Amino acid sequence: MPFFGLTSRKPELLFADGAVIFAESSEELQDALDTITEWSDTWEMAVNASKCGIMAISRKFTTDMTFQGQKVNSTDQYTYLGYIMNSKWDVSGTIKNNKNKVRKAVYAAYCFLRQSDVLKELKKKFINPILMSIG
């Protein structure tokens, strides 16, 4: 399915107003950014390049990339939908981040959970959705 006029068979990750584009080379990435720029300009949509980033996985990109005339900075890690991606495919950052979210959620619910008059089953029903949404 073409997205933003991109007709190649390259995979994209799309969610709401976010997108991740995979490219094999600097030229291919700049072509994709130009295509999205053209689409955005047609529909009078502005893109905030400061919220964008280029992360090279197996090779470095050799040229500066632009998006709607704005420079897009390179980065060693990028967070997409709560998953912290990095150029080494190391997931420890995501695990640590999710662990901290669980800890904060449990601490926030601590007063409720420590009440002895609240049934154990009710506590499970309360905490399971929180843990499942984070994990």
Burial (CB < 10 A; 0-12, 13-18, 19+), residue 3, is: middle
Prediction pTM value: 0.61
Note down the domain range covering 41: 12-89
The total domain count for the chain is 2
For residue range 37-85, list pLDDT tens digits in order. 998 899 998 888 888 888 888 777 767 888 999 999 888 888 877 788 8
Residue-wise DSSP of 83-97: EEEETT---HHHHHH
The pLDDT of residue 1 is above 50? no
At 97 the pLDDT is 85
- Do 95 and 81 contact (CB within 8 A), yes or no? no
* pLDDT 10s digits, 110-126: 777 777 777 777 777 77
Residue at 2 is within a domain: no
In a domain, residue 6? The reply is: no
Please list the alpha-helical segments (H only) found in the chain: 26-42, 92-113, 120-134
Give a yes or no: residue 69 inside a domain: yes
Q: What tens digit of pLDDT does each residue of 7-50 get?
A: 555 566 767 777 888 888 888 889 989 988 998 899 998 888 88
* Count of Cβ atoms closer than 10 Å to residue 12 Cβ: 14
**pLDDT for position 2:** 47
